[in-house]
Amino acid sequence: MSDVRNAEAQAAADRASTYEWGFTSDIEQDFAPKGLSEDTVRFISAKKNEPEWMLEWRLKAYRHWLTMTPPDWAKLNVPPIDYQDAYYYAEPRKKDGPASLDEVDPEILRVYEKLGIPIEEQKVLAGVEGARKVAVDAVFDSVSVATTFRAELERAGVIFRSISEAIREYPDLVKRWLGKVVPMRDNYFATLNCAVFSDGTFVYIPEGVRCPMELSTYFRINAENTGQFERTLIVADKGSHVSYLEGCTAPMRDENQLHAAVVELVALDDAEIKYSTVQNWYPGDAEGRGGIYNFVTKRALCQGKNSKVSWTQVETGSAITWKYPSCVLAGENSVGEFYSVAVTNNRQQADTGTKMIHLGKNTKSTIVSKGISAGRSDNTYRGLVRVAPTAEGARNFTQCDSLLLGSTCGAHTVPYIEVRNPSAQIEHEATTSKISDDQLFYAMSRGLDQEASVALIVNGFAKEVLQQLPMEFAVEAQKLLGISLEGSVG
């Protein structure tokens, strides 16, 4: 519990320091009018003092986006989205936020309590008026801790900036890699992101450097401002190593219903990137009203020989999740991994999985997907393993397990396997099971209540994935799985 508290205090301290460092100024005074047009794109670019090439890139994306249609192949029922009925830059602060925690949905407060989040942090998460300042004051003393971390990163030569800053300060690096892993025209949501991305993170790990700490977006980013169209670019130079954490176990209030992030990772020779996500955006009420639509494009390019990228995700939130963190295994002996737990409850829909594209010789990929469905939700694993003619000796192991709670939910597994090299070895295992009454009663007869029993069984089911997470994240994720499934049995 104290770990959670420390992490939250740290997060608050880090948010506090964003003010000091002035990454996001004027957000309350200045915003683009509602709707999407070339003017919106120009406004965003101008607000960020972007160079001309960046504006041109955005406009090109925008013009292409106009010719595209949303993808409809996923097993998702997506209501029509009105792109003109949204703010694309710094939505004006709503004045109808809760005035105090007394006005916040007691369900949400109960979850905060269970996660052990301090009161002041709860206010920030719930969007209580004026709470941010209070939270900042409350942890003022630990601001220096964040500064110390920053100094340590700089000593190691690690560049860790908001993407807007990086565009101005490291234009060559950004220009070289932005859009190289996820091309501008990749898909409807990625192209939209190219046009209007609000902010995000840039990380560069120099040759031979092992990043001295786990990097978290909390360190620097003002989450309120970047949540909607986030853009992340991580480049790991030769022989470097970095572990990056994204997300938050606490359900966070967000006025933006549509989220379309793009994450690009590049690993050069012998480099390794570990990218861990806990996604717990608001899933909507029991009928699915008001939840976040999460359309994310995440892809890694293992460009160098012996490079390795490992994606780990715990997805419990959002009304709709459309997300396929992928690896393009170009370098010889490169390795891609995907470990996923996706939980859907009530009316949630998730269509998530991965793509492993084997191009280089002796490339290896591992996919472990654990889908947990409850309520009246639908949970689909969709995964592609493609072995190109050049990928001599490629290997893949895929394991897809689905766990059902109750009899009104759905679990689906859609594997695509395309092999164009006869030396490839591909293995695919899939299981579907239900939490049995036997298991529940056995656990309860030993003294665990029903909630604790479900949490225990589900965590056992997801263990192979959870153990891939960094320790402090894993503990929170375990609690989160239990909480996400409360009331789904019996």
Partner 1 sequence: MLKIENLHAEVDGKAILKGLSLTINPGEIHAIMGPNGAGKSTLSYTLAGRPGYDVTEGKVTFDGQDLLDLEPHERAAAGLFLGFQYPVEIPGVSNVQFLREALNAQRKKRGEDALSGGDFLKRAKVQADALGFSMDMLKRPVNVGFSGGEKKRNEMVQMGIIDPKLAILDETDSGLDIDALRVVSDGINRIMRTPDKAVLLITHYQRLLDYVKPDFVHVLAGGRIVRTGGAELAHELEREGYGTIAA
Binding letters toward partner 1, positions 109-128, x by CB under 8 A: --------------------
Closest distance to partner 1 from the beta carbon of 116 (Å): 16
Nearer to partner 1, 134 or 452 (CB): 452
439 interacts with partner 1 by CB under 8 A: yes
- Minimum CB distance to partner 1 smaller for 46 or for 444: 444
The distance of closest approach from Cβ of residue 438 to partner 1 in the complex, given in angstroms and rounded to an integer, is: 5
Residue nearer to partner 1 on the CB measure, 214 or 451: 451
Binding window for partner 1 (CB under 8 A); candidates: 54-62, 73-81, 116-124, 451-459: 451-459
Q: Residue 432, interface with partner 1 (CB under 8 A)? A: no
CB of residue 461 to partner 1, shortest distance in Å: 6
- What is the rounded distance in angstroms from the CA atom of residue 440 to the CA atom of residue 451? 10
402 alpha carbon, distance to own chain's centre? 21
53 binds partner 1 (CB under 8 A): no
* Of the candidates 190, 264, 252, the residue with the CA atom closest to the CA atom of residue 225: 252
Query: Which CB, 176 or 434, lies closer to partner 1?
Result: 434
Own/partner contacts of 124-128, CB < 8 Å, gap of 24 or more, are: 124/12, 124/15, 125/250, 125/251, 125/252, 125/253, 126/98, 126/101, 126/253, 127/97, 127/98, 127/253, 128/97, 128/98, 128/99, 128/100, 128/101, 128/103, 128/104
Task: Candidates 148, 423, 436, 487: give the one binding partner 1 (CB under 8 A).
Answer: 436
Determine the interface stretch with partner 1 among 23-31, 119-127, 336-344, 448-456 (rule: CB under 8 A): 448-456
Is 459 among the residues that bind partner 1 (CB under 8 A)? yes
Distances (CA, A) of 345 to 248, 406, 487: 19, 11, 10
Instruction: Check residue 469 for interaction with partner 1 (CB under 8 A).
Output: no
Rank residues 337 and 401 by Cβ distance to partner 1 and give the closer one.
Answer: 401
105: contact with partner 1 by CB under 8 A: no
Residue position matching structure tokens 């959670």: 4
Among 66, 68, 134, 444, binds partner 1 (CB under 8 A): 444
Q: Which stretch binds partner 1 (CB under 8 A): 54-62, 69-77, 160-168, 435-443?
A: 435-443
142 binds partner 1 (CB under 8 A): no
- 392 vs 472, which CB is nearer to partner 1? 472
Q: Which of 95, 96, 445, 471 binds partner 1 (CB under 8 A)?
A: 445
456 interacts with partner 1 by CB under 8 A: yes
Check binding of 463 to partner 1 (CB under 8 A).
yes
Using an 8 Å Cβ cutoff, are 14 and 5 in contact? no
Q: Are 385 and 391 in contact (CB under 8 A)?
A: no
- State yes or no: residue 448 binds partner 1 (CB under 8 A): yes
Given 16, 233, 252, 443, the residue binding partner 1 (CB under 8 A)? 443
Stretch that binds partner 1, among 9-17, 227-235, 242-250, 461-469 (CB under 8 A): 461-469
**One-letter amino acid for residue 18 of the chain:** T
Least Å distance, CB 373 to partner 1, is: 18
Q: Judge whether 479 and 456 are in contact, CB under 8 Å.
A: no
Q: Does residue 442 touch partner 1 according to CB under 8 A?
A: yes
Instruction: Tell which one of 236, 457, 480, 485 touches partner 1 (CB under 8 A).
Output: 457
- Of these, 464, 472, 475, 486, which contacts partner 1 (CB under 8 A)? 464
Return residues touching partner 1 (CB under 8 A).
436-439, 441-450, 452-453, 456-457, 459-464, 490
